[in-house]
Amino acid sequence: MLTRGKHLAAHLGLSRQVRYERCDATHPDGLQSLSPPPDLVVVSGFYETLTDDAAVCRSLLDLRAILPAGGTLLLTTQVWHPWLALAANVLPDRHGKPWIISVRSLARMERWVREAGFCHRQSHMEPHGWHAVIECTG
Protein backbone atom coordinates (compact mmCIF):
# COMPACT_ATOMS: atom_id res chain seq x y z
CA MET A 1 0.00 0.00 0.00
CA LEU A 2 2.80 2.46 0.90
CA THR A 3 4.72 1.57 -2.28
CA ARG A 4 1.62 2.12 -4.38
CA GLY A 5 1.12 5.46 -2.65
CA LYS A 6 4.70 6.51 -3.37
CA HIS A 7 4.28 5.60 -7.04
CA LEU A 8 1.03 7.53 -7.23
CA ALA A 9 2.63 10.61 -5.64
CA ALA A 10 5.53 10.38 -8.12
CA HIS A 11 3.09 9.97 -11.02
CA LEU A 12 1.27 13.14 -9.90
CA GLY A 13 4.54 15.04 -9.43
CA LEU A 14 3.97 15.28 -5.65
CA SER A 15 6.98 13.35 -4.34
CA ARG A 16 8.36 16.41 -2.55
CA GLN A 17 5.05 17.25 -0.86
CA VAL A 18 3.88 13.76 0.12
CA ARG A 19 5.74 11.40 2.46
CA TYR A 20 4.89 7.79 3.27
CA GLU A 21 5.92 6.29 6.60
CA ARG A 22 4.78 3.20 8.44
CA CYS A 23 3.54 3.74 11.99
CA ASP A 24 0.90 2.51 14.43
CA ALA A 25 -1.97 5.00 14.18
CA THR A 26 -3.25 3.98 17.63
CA HIS A 27 0.04 4.77 19.33
CA PRO A 28 0.79 8.44 20.18
CA ASP A 29 4.58 7.89 20.07
CA GLY A 30 4.41 6.92 16.40
CA LEU A 31 2.40 10.00 15.53
CA GLN A 32 4.55 12.36 17.60
CA SER A 33 7.71 11.08 15.90
CA LEU A 34 6.53 12.42 12.52
CA SER A 35 8.78 15.31 11.62
CA PRO A 36 7.75 17.76 10.35
CA PRO A 37 4.22 17.11 11.65
CA PRO A 38 1.60 16.68 8.90
CA ASP A 39 -0.68 19.59 8.11
CA LEU A 40 -3.22 17.26 6.51
CA VAL A 41 -4.41 14.08 8.22
CA VAL A 42 -6.71 11.65 6.42
CA VAL A 43 -8.31 8.88 8.48
CA SER A 44 -10.03 6.78 5.84
CA GLY A 45 -11.75 3.49 6.61
CA PHE A 46 -9.83 3.14 9.88
CA TYR A 47 -12.22 4.11 12.69
CA GLU A 48 -14.76 1.72 11.19
CA THR A 49 -12.33 -1.08 12.07
CA LEU A 50 -12.10 0.02 15.74
CA THR A 51 -14.92 -1.44 17.83
CA ASP A 52 -13.74 0.39 20.95
CA ASP A 53 -15.28 3.89 21.05
CA ALA A 54 -12.67 5.02 23.59
CA ALA A 55 -9.88 4.09 21.14
CA VAL A 56 -11.44 6.36 18.51
CA CYS A 57 -11.68 9.25 20.99
CA ARG A 58 -8.06 8.68 22.11
CA SER A 59 -6.93 8.66 18.48
CA LEU A 60 -8.71 11.97 17.84
CA LEU A 61 -6.96 13.51 20.86
CA ASP A 62 -3.59 12.18 19.59
CA LEU A 63 -4.24 13.69 16.16
CA ARG A 64 -5.29 17.00 17.70
CA ALA A 65 -1.98 17.05 19.57
CA ILE A 66 0.14 16.74 16.39
CA LEU A 67 -1.90 18.76 13.90
CA PRO A 68 -0.66 22.37 13.72
CA ALA A 69 -3.20 25.20 14.05
CA GLY A 70 -4.98 25.60 10.73
CA GLY A 71 -4.16 22.04 9.68
CA THR A 72 -6.91 19.85 8.24
CA LEU A 73 -8.33 16.55 9.44
CA LEU A 74 -10.49 14.52 7.06
CA LEU A 75 -12.07 11.36 8.41
CA THR A 76 -14.62 8.86 7.24
CA THR A 77 -17.42 7.24 9.17
CA GLN A 78 -19.90 4.55 8.24
CA VAL A 79 -23.43 5.18 9.38
CA TRP A 80 -24.83 1.92 8.03
CA HIS A 81 -23.95 -0.72 5.47
CA PRO A 82 -26.07 -3.49 3.93
CA TRP A 83 -23.28 -6.02 4.61
CA LEU A 84 -23.06 -5.54 8.38
CA ALA A 85 -24.62 -8.93 9.19
CA LEU A 86 -22.86 -10.68 6.28
CA ALA A 87 -19.48 -9.33 7.35
CA ALA A 88 -20.01 -10.20 11.01
CA ASN A 89 -21.32 -13.71 10.33
CA VAL A 90 -19.40 -14.83 7.24
CA LEU A 91 -16.38 -12.69 6.41
CA PRO A 92 -13.11 -12.71 8.37
CA ASP A 93 -11.22 -9.53 9.20
CA ARG A 94 -7.45 -9.27 8.63
CA HIS A 95 -6.86 -11.18 11.90
CA GLY A 96 -9.15 -14.02 10.80
CA LYS A 97 -11.83 -12.99 13.30
CA PRO A 98 -15.45 -12.03 12.44
CA TRP A 99 -15.35 -8.75 10.54
CA ILE A 100 -17.19 -6.25 12.73
CA ILE A 101 -17.78 -2.96 10.92
CA SER A 102 -18.28 -0.26 13.54
CA VAL A 103 -21.05 2.03 12.41
CA ARG A 104 -21.43 5.40 14.11
CA SER A 105 -23.81 8.24 13.45
CA LEU A 106 -22.57 11.43 11.91
CA ALA A 107 -23.79 13.40 14.94
CA ARG A 108 -21.75 11.22 17.30
CA MET A 109 -18.56 11.54 15.23
CA GLU A 110 -19.03 15.29 14.89
CA ARG A 111 -19.43 15.55 18.68
CA TRP A 112 -16.26 13.52 19.24
CA VAL A 113 -14.15 15.68 16.90
CA ARG A 114 -15.38 18.80 18.73
CA GLU A 115 -14.68 17.23 22.12
CA ALA A 116 -11.14 16.43 20.91
CA GLY A 117 -10.63 20.15 20.23
CA PHE A 118 -11.11 20.28 16.47
CA CYS A 119 -13.23 22.86 14.71
CA HIS A 120 -15.84 20.95 12.69
CA ARG A 121 -16.16 22.56 9.25
CA GLN A 122 -18.52 20.37 7.30
CA SER A 123 -19.65 16.83 6.64
CA HIS A 124 -20.53 15.19 3.36
CA MET A 125 -22.84 12.17 3.19
CA GLU A 126 -22.83 10.16 -0.04
CA PRO A 127 -26.20 9.59 -1.74
CA HIS A 128 -26.86 6.13 -0.21
CA GLY A 129 -26.50 7.56 3.31
CA TRP A 130 -23.97 4.89 4.31
CA HIS A 131 -20.61 6.69 4.32
CA ALA A 132 -19.66 10.21 5.28
CA VAL A 133 -16.55 12.36 5.20
CA ILE A 134 -16.05 14.84 8.02
CA GLU A 135 -13.80 17.87 7.56
CA CYS A 136 -12.24 19.64 10.54
CA THR A 137 -9.44 22.06 11.24
CA GLY A 138 -6.99 22.05 14.09
Does residue 136 contact residue 116 with C-beta atoms inside 8 Å? no
Question: Judged by CB, which is closer to ligand SAM: 32, or 44?
Answer: 44
By the rule CB under 6 A, 46 interacts with ligand SAM: yes
Q: Which of residues 7-36 bind ligand SAM (CB under 6 A)?
A: 24-26
- The piece of 9-17, 44-52, 59-67, 104-112 that touches ligand SAM (CB under 6 A) is 44-52
Does residue 66 contact residue 21 with C-beta atoms inside 8 Å? no
Question: What strands lie across the sheet with 72-78, from one edge to the other?
Answer: 40-43, 72-78, 131-137, 119-125
Q: Which of residues 60-119 bind ligand SAM (CB under 6 A)?
A: none
Tell me the residue nearest to ligand SAM as measured from the CB.
45
Instruction: Tell me the C-alpha to C-alpha distance, in Å, between residue 73 and each of 3, 12, 83, 99, 119.
Output: 23, 22, 28, 26, 10
Point out which residues bind ligand SAM (CB under 6 A).
24-26, 44-46, 49
